[in-house]
Amino acid sequence: MKLGVEPRFIPPAAPQHNGRHERMHRTLKDETAKSPASDRMEQQARFDAFRRSYNEERPHEALEQTTPASHWSRPGRLLPERIDEPWYDADHEVRRVRSEGSIKWRGETVFIGEALAGELVGLAELEDGGHIVRFIGRDLGVIDPALRFHRFAPPRARLRSAVETQRKPE
C-alpha cells in the first residue's frame, strides 16, 4: 500500500474467485512438496527448478501456449530508494505494529494483523468510544470500547485464533 498497491479481498473459502492463482499453488505443491525433500537446501532447489520450469519452459493455455517469461519485461519505473513512513492527522494516535501483529493500546495488547508488522497505524476516536484503525488511506477496522478489534475485511481462517486469544475475559 505504501507503493500504491491496493489489496482486493475475495470471500473466504472461495477459490473460484482466484482460480489461476489457486491452480498455480496446486501445481507447485504437486511438483515440489508431495513427499517433501530431506533438507531445506534440497527443498529450495525444487522450488527454484519449479519457478524456472513454470515461467520459462512450460506453455500456459491462458497465454496462448507461450511462457510467462516471454511476456515479461522490466517495469518502466524503479522503486523509490526510500519509502516514507505513513503520515496521520493530528487527531490520530500512532502506534507501531509489533512483529506478531499486535499493538499496545490503553494498557492492553490488541491484535491488528501480521501483515502490518513493523508499520505505523493511526487510531482516531469515534463517537461511541471506539477507535478506527487506519493504515495510510485504508480503514482497517475498529477497536471497540472493550478493546476488541473488528476488521472490515473478511477475516483469514489462520488469524481467527490469534484474534480470539486477544479478547479479554468477559
What DSSP letter does each residue of 47-84 carry, written as one string?
A: HHHHHHIIIIIS-BGGGTTB-GGGT----SSPPPS--P
Give me the pLDDT at residue 158, please: 54
**In this predicted model, what pLDDT tens digit does every residue of 31-55 receive, in sequence order?**
999 989 999 999 999 999 999 999 9
- Helix 40-52 × helix 19-32 angle, to 10°: 130
Record the cell numbers describing residue 128, joined without a space.
Answer: 461511541
Give me the pLDDT at residue 78, please: 85
Cα 110 versus chain centre, distance: 18
Terminal Cα distance for the chain, rounded:
36
Give me the pLDDT at residue 165, please: 47
Give me the pLDDT at residue 148, please: 94
Residues of the chain with pLDDT under 50: 159-163, 165, 168-170
Give me the pLDDT at residue 54, please: 93
Q: How far apart are CA 15 and CA 9, in angstroms?
A: 12
Give me the pLDDT at residue 168, please: 47
Give me the pLDDT at residue 17, please: 78
Residue 75's φ and ψ, nearest 5 degrees, are -60, 150
Record the cell numbers describing residue 152, joined without a space.
Answer: 472490515
Residue recorded with cell 485464533: 161
DSSP-derived 3-state class of residue 162: helix
Rounded alpha-carbon distances, angstroms, from residue 23 to 16, 26, 100: 10, 5, 30
Residue 93's φ and ψ, nearest 5 degrees, are -95, 140
